[in-house]
Amino acid sequence: MVTSHNESGPILDGLVSQVPDIDQEETAEWLESLEGVIQERGGPRARYLLTKMLQYAREQQVRVQAPLTSDYVNTIAA
Binned at pLDDT 50, 70 and 90, residue 64 comes out as confident
How far apart are alpha carbons 61 and 48 in whole angstroms? Answer: 20
Residue 8 has pLDDT above 80, yes or no: no
φ, ψ dihedrals at 48, nearest 5°: -60, -50
Alpha-carbon distances, residue 16 vs 1, 38, 64 (angstroms) = 24, 24, 10
Q: What is the model's pLDDT at position 68?
A: 61
Binned at pLDDT 50, 70 and 90, residue 21 comes out as confident
